[in-house]
């Protein structure tokens, strides 16, 4: 009786997982099908699959707009912002996890409070600041802003990762002659690799998907990331849905590839930050 009950529970679990996957993947299926339709079929009702499969839509987007340039800009912006957020986040997280200093509680509170402010609320101030320092309409400006808005998340997640590592490991390294910095680089960072990788992927995805700030700051076409550059397929009287969805599919590939490459470290990284303190 018990084995039959477990069998039914397993079956129901698999059914639930399949249904959930279908719900999650259905929008991507619609994007893929729409990307293969002809312009005339776009608004026809009665059939989902295209009558004529226009595989050429995936090649036409490269000549219809500078899609490769948009993707390259997004890669540079997201990669640069991620690298900067990690490089600044590691020392800050280490200090919060290991050191005692005056104002530590206030600093931790400020880190949390910074996550409460949406970029949209600060958009006017951000624009004026970037104009004053001549970083508006530049890729460097977007790198700095994306790194800044993801810095608090990176610090908080990395702090939990460092707190999950026993201080005895660091003390042993110091006994062997390592200083604080050397112990951090040679002992703590390798052990904190799952948490660092998890932080990396979340910061990269956030920077890759950012739209509002890029739309406000970037006006030169060659500096636009893919999230803004894709608007080229929005016409005054019509939208080229087949090209829009084809480009959107290409825009998801870098994130999917990155996620698949480090997926095995993701769960370990998330749980490594789940400690008290």
Q: Which residue has the higher pLDDT, 69 or 40?
A: 69
In a domain, 34, yes or no: no
In a domain, 36, yes or no: no
What whole-number percentage of the chain has pLDDT above 70?
Answer: 92
What is the C-alpha to C-alpha distance for residues 213 and 139, in angstroms, rounded to an integer?
Answer: 12
What is the C-alpha to C-alpha distance for residues 237 and 174, in angstroms, rounded to an integer?
Answer: 68
Q: By mean pLDDT, which of 22-36, 214-228, 260-274 is the weakest?
A: 260-274
DSSP element (H, E) containing 66:
none
Residue 240 structure tokens: 């080229």
Cα dist. 149→5, 38, 245 in Å? Answer: 49, 40, 28
What's the whole-model pTM score? 0.83
Question: Taking residues 114-140, what's their average pLDDT?
Answer: 86
Residue 267's pLDDT is: 56
Residue 234 sits at φ, ψ, to 5 deg, of -95, 110
User: pLDDT per residue over 175-201, tens digit each?
Assistant: 777 777 777 777 788 888 888 888 888
DSSP element (H, E) containing 240:
none
Question: Taking residues 224-231, what's their average pLDDT?
Answer: 91
Residue 8 structure tokens: 């039914």
Helix pair 139-163, 241-272: axis angle to 10 deg: 30
Classified as helix, coil or strand, 234 is: strand
In a domain, 233, yes or no: yes
Closest CA to 153 of 99, 104, 112: 112
In a domain, 89, yes or no: yes
In a domain, 152, yes or no: yes
Listed in sequence order, the residues at least 6 apart from 128 whose beta carbon sits closer than 8 Å to its beta carbon are none
| Structure confidence at residue 97 as a pLDDT band (50, 70, 90) | confident
The mean of the pLDDT values for the chain is 83
In a domain, 96, yes or no: yes
User: pLDDT per residue over 136-173, tens digit each?
Assistant: 899 999 999 999 889 888 888 888 888 887 777 777 77
- 184-196 burial by CB neighbour count: b if 16+ within 10 A, else e? beebbeebbbbbb
Residue 4's pLDDT is: 67
- 140-166 burial by CB neighbour count: b if 16+ within 10 A, else e? ebbbbbbbbbbbbbbbbbbbbbbbbbe
Residue 83's pLDDT is: 94
Q: Which residue has the higher pLDDT, 34 or 2?
A: 34
In a domain, 277, yes or no: no
What whole-number percentage of the chain has pLDDT above 90?
Answer: 21
Q: What is the CATH number of the domain that holds 220?
A: 1.10.3720.10
User: pLDDT per residue over 77-92, tens digit each?
Assistant: 999 999 999 999 998 8
Residue 79's pLDDT is: 93
Number of Cβ within 10 Å of residue 80's Cβ equals: 18
Residue 194 sits at φ, ψ, to 5 deg, of -60, -40
Residue 36's pLDDT is: 87
Closest CA to 114 of 92, 98, 140: 92
Residue 264's pLDDT is: 67
User: How many structural domains comprise the chain?
Assistant: 1
pLDDT at 277 over 50: no
Range of the domain at 161: 73-272
Beta bridge partners of 234: 239
Residue 78's pLDDT is: 94
Cβ pair 199, 89 in contact under 8 A: yes
User: pLDDT per residue over 235-268, tens digit each?
Assistant: 767 788 888 888 988 888 888 888 777 766 665 5
Listed in sequence order, the residues at least 6 apart from 234 whose beta carbon sits closer than 8 Å to its beta carbon are 244
In a domain, 37, yes or no: no
pLDDT at 273 over 50: no
Residue 140's pLDDT is: 94
């Amino acid at each position: 009786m018990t084995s039959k009950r477990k069998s039914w529970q397993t079956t129901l679990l698999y059914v639930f997982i399949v249904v959930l996957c279908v719900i999650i993947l259905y929008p991507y299926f619609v994007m893929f099908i729409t990307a293969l339709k002809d312009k005339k079929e776009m608004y026809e009702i009665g059939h989902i699959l295209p009558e004529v499969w226009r595989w050429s839509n995936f090649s036409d987007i490269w000549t219809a707009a500078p899609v490769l340039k948009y993707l390259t800009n997004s890669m540079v912006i997201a990669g640069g912002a991620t690298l900067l957020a990690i490089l600044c986040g590691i020392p800050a997280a280490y200090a919060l996890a290991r050191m005692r200093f005056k104002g530590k509680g206030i600093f931790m509170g400020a880190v949390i409070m910074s996550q409460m402010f949406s970029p949209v609320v600060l958009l006017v101030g951000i624009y004026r600041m970037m104009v004053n320092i001549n970083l508006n309409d530049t890729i460097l400006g977007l790198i700095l802003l994306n790194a800044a808005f993801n810095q608090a998340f990176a610090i908080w997640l990395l702090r939990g990762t460092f707190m999950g590592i026993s201080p005895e490991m660091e003390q042993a390294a110091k006994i062997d002659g390592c200083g604080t910095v050397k112990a951090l680089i040679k002992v703590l960072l390798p052990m904190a690799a799952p948490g660092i990788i998890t932080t990396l992927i979340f910061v990269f995805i956030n920077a890759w998907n950012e739209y509002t700030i890029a739309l406000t700051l970037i006006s030169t076409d060659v500096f636009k990331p893919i999230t803004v550059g894709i608007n080229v397929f929005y016409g005054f009287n019509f939208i080229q849905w087949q090209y829009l969805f084809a480009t959107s599919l290409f825009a998801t590939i870098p994130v999917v590839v990155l996620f698949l490459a480090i997926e095995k470290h993701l769960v370990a990284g998330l749980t490594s930050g789940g400690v008290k303190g």
